[in-house]
Amino acid sequence: MRDWFRRSQRTCACVSEARCTLKVRLPISETIMSLASRRWTVRRAILLAQQQVQETGKERVLDGLSRAAGRLRETLGESISSVRKFDTPLAQATTPSLEALRALSMGRDALADGNYAGAVSWFSARDCH
């Protein structure tokens, strides 16, 4: 289980200050394609699980994401006792600033895509501190 989890792609996308979606995907293939002098990578992944969060205000989003993460872990097969034992509310584990959390998430995505300059700009963003 650890091997596939290590390879999985975990994302959190917020469409508004109070509505977010957590997704876990497992990469199934990666192909490097080239045409003339251009090269690009095509990645394919299957969606393993997804949870959506809708809260009344941005102050409550981290609490909602914490609950959604617990449900997501259960959906992926983690035992309820393990989820409870290792559950740390996001408000305690990360910054309470949604802007900083977004900048960190975007920087990690850019880094995973090999966009190092983009990652540096996100990690250097004023909101990331």
pLDDT in the model for residue 6: 60
**Contact between residue 18 and residue 61 where contact means Cβ atoms under 8 Å apart:** yes
pTM: 0.58
pLDDT 10s digits, 32-53: 666 666 776 666 777 778 888 8
pLDDT in the model for residue 56: 81
pLDDT in the model for residue 1: 46
* Residue environment code for 84-107, b if the CB has 16+ CB neighbours within 10 A, otherwise e: eeeeeebeeeebeebebbbbbbbb
pLDDT in the model for residue 40: 64
Alpha-carbon distance of 52 to 11, in angstroms, equals 12
Give the whole-number percent of the chain exceeding pLDDT 90. 0
pLDDT 10s digits, 85-116: 888 877 777 777 777 877 887 888 888 788 88
